[in-house]
Structure 1
Amino acid sequence: MARQQNRKRPRADDLPQEHRPGKKIRSEGSSKRSSNFSPEFWDNLSKVWLTPRALRELDRRNDAQPTSKPPAPAVYTKYLARFARHGGPDLRHLRGATTISRKSGKSSAYGPEFETHLADHNIHINNRKSKPKNLKDGYTQLAPERPSLSPSRFGESDFEDFQRRDEEATFENDVMTTVIPIICGDADIPSRQNVLFTELTPVTSTYEDVVRPKPDLFDGAHIGDLDGKVRDPNGDMHPLIIPTKHASVPVAPNFFLEAKAPKGAADVLKRQACYDGAYGARAMHALQNYGEEEPAYDGNAYTYSSTYHAGTLKLYAHHATTPTDPEGRPEYHMTQVKAYALTSDRETCVQGIGAFRNARDLAQRHRNMFIRQANGKARRSDALSVDGPEAEAQQYGDTGSDEFVDCEDYVGSQVVAAENYATSHDIDEGSAVPQYLYAEDGESPDLTSLDIVEPSMSFATSVTSSFSTQGHTRSKRNRTSHSPPSNPQPHKKPGSAKSWTRHTSLEKAKRLQRQVKVQWRRRSATPLGRGTLYLATPATPATVESE
């Protein structure tokens, strides 16, 4: 069989097979280098991450520079040996920007080192060191059912709608706008979302090390609910309870919510809630101890936080404990209270949403209670803030002027003052104290309907006037005052060497000036008789003479 010949016409410029150049082999290294970004791309980045591409670009730039070996030192000093022993030069800038900077970035809840930072500053993400004393009471407070979640108002169709919204939520903003409103309901509680706390003092070290708190949702009080002295911008309380400069943003926050999209990290949520709760626990502790010289720690939780992620709702309680070091920081602890899978079934969903709403109400009750206490202390301190004995004497009527005070605020304290007076001056309790305050027919007087003596009436002189009722005039008879005298001068006991005079020492005068005497006179037939309140100054005893 004849050999088949190659019919292809040879070209004149074809080289013989043995003279043809070999096929160029593409090296793996060159392919990788060619797939990298251009140098301009890396120069325009604000932050270069430590990736294989970035390392290849770094190697390329290092190879382009002329190599030069630094001369070895003749003698290795102790400094160089210590420098090498501690790890040599700092290479952390390779993970940061293109320019070398000694300043590191702020730590946030997105990094695991943030949890270590919190623990270093006595903020614990769990309750291994301390549990709140009122934890069982918290379980009871979160359990009651809500009428708004009854089957007639939140049925199976509503639960299916909640499931659908949770499944369709892709980003965190979707969760906050479609899912969280169903959980919160129509609560009439001052709250804000996604607000940066710019005015609060850092609860750890400084804001150069950590980011400022920015909860997704938080509850607080209206700034007008706080007394002016409590919210004073120059006071000690302002950087502990006022989160921003805006007057419309709630103050003294003690309930927080952090939410994430389904692809978000649950560990980040917990760190954020722990960080928020420490600020809330500090605010409640500051209000609770307002005006006290030494702060007290009762070990109870008055701040709550919550997290929502992929259908799971968790509730936490936060409380403060005494610093381990007398000069150190207080310790803040986070305790998980409840957890609910809201998308599992309607019953679990109702229980979780109800516990969430109950926690908001409970936090509001704690917040309002401490605000009322702080406001009361601030107002009492304003009433007692006087400059010197003369101003104090004038406040309590020692200069002869008649001061009138609120009966409801002072009646309780005057009973105690009368008892102290009777005890210190050996006055018979049966004759002095029981007749100090009384009303007709053995009933307690109604302070809201009492007639107050006109300020123009002076108790320095005898009260001599006639009163007429329906045109009928009756003469007054002498009445002996059964109440302790405003300027007490008790009779000297037989055999006693003590003698009380009107001109007592300054210290005793101050003590007596604070005992505002409330005297009751029972008159049988005059309009100014039954239930009439007399306020006598300490310096001038009140007497009633006959006409």
Structure 2
Amino acid sequence: MANAHNRKRAPADDVSQEHRPYKKIKSRGRLYGPSNFPPEFWDNLSKVPLTRRALRELDRRNSTRPAPGPAAPAVYTTDLARFARHGGPDLRRLRGCPEPKGAVRTMASSRSTSSSRRTKSAKSTKATDVASKTKPTSAYDDAFELHAIDNGIYPEGYEHPDGRRTPEPNNIDQLLLELAATRASLSPSQFPDSAFRDFKKKHKTASESTVKYNIIPIIAGNTNIPNKRDLHFTNIQSITGGLTVKAVPDFFDGARLGDVHPKIRNEGEEGNLNKLIIPTKHTSAPVVPNFFLEIKAPKGGADVAQRQALHDGAIGSRAMHALMNYGKEEPAYDSNAYTYSSTYHAGTGTLQLYAHHVTPPAVPRGRPEYHMTQVKAFAMTNDLNIFVQGATAFRNARDHAQRHRGSFIQAANARARQSDVETSPEAEITVVIADKNEESTDEFVDCEDYHGSQAVGTEDYTAPEDVEEPALPQDLCAEDEEPSQGLFVSLRPQVNFPRRFYI
């Protein structure tokens, strides 16, 4: 037994797992220190929220405040006992005053205690210096929404200090009817209960990448609308003066670059909209984005997704408004929603749809105001019926965003071509040979008044009987279709006379 006991005991030179030396891993946060927003961001806030970054900014400002100069020495009585009984010197002026740098410690203490304190002080000073580094604010901070409000970007249900609530778009009723239009691809024969059970099963191991590539495609269905994922909007001009991060939608729809007239999209052209409608310098990326999706995994914050959608929707609304007013002397506002955003939270299986619109500045020479309105919300994992309703609204919103986008691009392109004709040094005069007895009428049609129709290469859906479908873009077509020659207006410059010339 003694031998067995000795065999179980580890030898003296054996290093056990308990006492094995280990390498201390420094956390990234301690190594680099936390970053913060620039001082201008905090100075421009109407109200500073109590957040960690706000406290770090307060510490940084306190650390840079100069120490107060020495006060004039007061004359005290030599009777120290009586002086102490009355409370000693008045130290109220020292409250909140930082310790002078390089101050000599005069208190008697052991050498180890003094060294420990100096080490902690040095670490604190280093952390404060690193924390002074700044970065733009993001939707992950509570101050982001307040900063957006200060810049005229109002979230869903926002109530102004004077009691006004953020308005709904003028076309909200029409929009709700359009979102509810049924789709053949979501009929019971096309999307049975087994497909819904498979959709729910995918939520059990849902990471954010799983949601993007396995769950969202079931909701979105098959379509040929140009789209992109996880693309930084590096070319878009900031709405908030550069104090917010660049938008990075998880998913967005847009038009092809070639659909937009070069005079509108190219930098260097007079009145170009490059910084308002071109998200990035990549030529393959969609332009004029006006449909967005923000995704969060089960552990992600739904409030963060909503703030990201607020930022995305304002960018899309501004792009659509810029196209609508391209070439016009004074901007017009119709308070209609032409931009949509959505959020999907995999933890609850909740899909939310929002509409965004622009209204005129509230004060003279102010900036336009951007509003976010929730139009639908669905618990997609609840049952098949609710899933079909949510997927229907999501797909219809994408289709109608494409229709609005194409319509505005078409109108802006027509104005760009018209301006080319007006500035062209050589204009072709059209002479009509006709019978003199024929009644003289004006038959010239302006490009802006021309309207055509074309089928979008997406899934079929049935609109309500009382809904008038908006005109589709003339220069967009499905990938497997050839553009119809009858839908395009001749680009030859012409001079339109009020009456015909007869020969």
Place the TM-score, normalised by the shorter chain, in its bin: 0.5 to 0.7
Within 5 Å, give how 1:36-435 maps onto structure 2: 45-47=31-33, 72-74=70-72, 97=127, 99-100=129-130, 102-127=132-157, 128-169=165-206, 171-206=207-242, 209-235=243-269, 236-309=272-345, 310=347, 311-386=349-424, 391=425, 395=427, 403-404=429-430, 435=439
1:387-445 per-residue CA deviation (whole Å, 9 max, x = no partner) reads xxxx4xx636xxxxxx338x9xxx9xxxxxxxxxxxxxxxxxxxx99711599xxxxxx
Query: Distance between the aligned counterparts of 2:437 and 2:319, measured in 1?
Result: 44
Aligned residues of 1:46 and 1:98 also touching (Cα < 8 A): no
TM-score normalized with structure 2 length: 0.63
Aligned residues of 2:288 and 2:320 also touching (Cα < 8 A): yes
Q: How big is the shift at 1:203?
A: 1.2
The 1:433–1:327 alpha-carbon spacing in structure 2 relative to 1, beyond 3 Å, is: farther
Aligned residues of 1:49 and 1:95 also touching (Cα < 8 A): no
1:13 maps to what in 2?
none
The 1:148–1:517 alpha-carbon spacing in structure 2 relative to 1, beyond 3 Å, is: same
Query: Distance between the aligned counterparts of 1:94 and 1:433, measured in 2?
Result: 97
Aligned residues of 1:48 and 1:96 also touching (Cα < 8 A): no
Q: How big is the shift at 1:38?
A: 7.4
Aligned residues of 2:228 and 2:251 also touching (Cα < 8 A): yes
Aligned residues of 2:291 and 2:339 also touching (Cα < 8 A): yes
The 1:344–1:99 alpha-carbon spacing in structure 2 relative to 1, beyond 3 Å, is: same
Aligned residues of 2:294 and 2:344 also touching (Cα < 8 A): yes
Query: Distance between the aligned counterparts of 1:43 and 1:205, measured in 2?
Result: 28
Tell me which of the two structures has the higher relative contact order, counting C-alpha pairs closer than 8 angstroms and 6 or more residues apart: 2
Query: Distance between the aligned counterparts of 2:378 and 2:25, measured in 1?
Result: 52
Aligned residues of 1:200 and 1:242 also touching (Cα < 8 A): yes
The 1:141–1:326 alpha-carbon spacing in structure 2 relative to 1, beyond 3 Å, is: same
Aligned residues of 1:42 and 1:48 also touching (Cα < 8 A): no
Query: What secondary structure does 1:230 align onto?
Result: helix
Q: Which amino acid aligns with 1:263?
A: K
Which residues of structure 1 form unaligned runs of 5+? Answer: 1-36, 51-68, 76-83, 397-402, 412-431, 440-512, 519-535, 537-541
Q: How big is the shift at 1:99?
A: 2.7
1:253-303 per-residue CA deviation (whole Å, 9 max, x = no partner) reads 000000100111110010000000000000000001110011011000000
Q: How big is the shift at 1:346?
A: 0.3
Instruction: Determine what percentage of the aligned residue pairs are the same residue.
Output: 47
Q: How big is the shift at 1:324?
A: 1.3
TM-score normalized with structure 1 length: 0.58
Query: What secondary structure does 2:129 align onto?
Result: coil
Query: What secondary structure does 2:265 align onto?
Result: coil
Rg bigger for which structure? 1
Query: Distance between the aligned counterparts of 1:377 and 1:87, measured in 2?
Result: 64
Query: Distance between the aligned counterparts of 1:163 and 1:194, measured in 2?
Result: 25
Query: Distance between the aligned counterparts of 1:378 and 1:356, measured in 2?
Result: 33
Q: How big is the shift at 1:49?
A: 9.4
Q: How big is the shift at 1:168?
A: 1.9
Aligned residues: 347
The 1:116–1:95 alpha-carbon spacing in structure 2 relative to 1, beyond 3 Å, is: farther
Query: Distance between the aligned counterparts of 1:174 and 1:182, measured in 2?
Result: 12
Query: Distance between the aligned counterparts of 2:95 and 2:288, measured in 1?
Result: 46
Aligned residues of 2:421 and 2:427 also touching (Cα < 8 A): no
Query: Distance between the aligned counterparts of 1:433 and 1:329, measured in 2?
Result: 58
Provide the alpha-carbon RMSD of the alignment.
Answer: 3.5
Query: Distance between the aligned counterparts of 2:176 and 2:29, measured in 1?
Result: 57
Q: How big is the shift at 1:72?
A: 2.2
The 1:103–1:154 alpha-carbon spacing in structure 2 relative to 1, beyond 3 Å, is: same
Query: Distance between the aligned counterparts of 2:126 and 2:135, measured in 1?
Result: 9
Q: How big is the shift at 1:321?
A: 0.4
Query: Distance between the aligned counterparts of 1:273 and 1:45, measured in 2?
Result: 33
After TM superposition, the runs of 4+ consecutive aligned structure 1 residues lying more than 6 A away are 37-44, 84-90, 93-96
1:479-500 per-residue CA deviation (whole Å, 9 max, x = no partner) reads xxxxxxxxxxxxxxxxxxxxxx
Q: How big is the shift at 1:94?
A: 6.5
The 1:73–1:172 alpha-carbon spacing in structure 2 relative to 1, beyond 3 Å, is: same
Query: What secondary structure does 1:214 align onto?
Result: coil
Q: Which amino acid aligns with 2:430?
A: F
Query: Distance between the aligned counterparts of 2:201 and 2:330, measured in 1?
Result: 53
Aligned residues of 1:229 and 1:378 also touching (Cα < 8 A): yes
Query: Distance between the aligned counterparts of 2:319 and 2:284, measured in 1?
Result: 18
Query: Distance between the aligned counterparts of 2:279 and 2:374, measured in 1?
Result: 25
Aligned residues of 2:233 and 2:246 also touching (Cα < 8 A): yes
Aligned residues of 2:251 and 2:292 also touching (Cα < 8 A): yes
Query: Distance between the aligned counterparts of 2:25 and 2:274, measured in 1?
Result: 51
Q: Which amino acid aligns with 1:225?
A: D
Q: Which amino acid aligns with 1:358?
A: N
Within 5 Å, give how 1:488-527 maps onto structure 2: 515=497, 517-518=499-500
Aligned residues of 2:333 and 2:358 also touching (Cα < 8 A): yes
The 1:100–1:141 alpha-carbon spacing in structure 2 relative to 1, beyond 3 Å, is: same
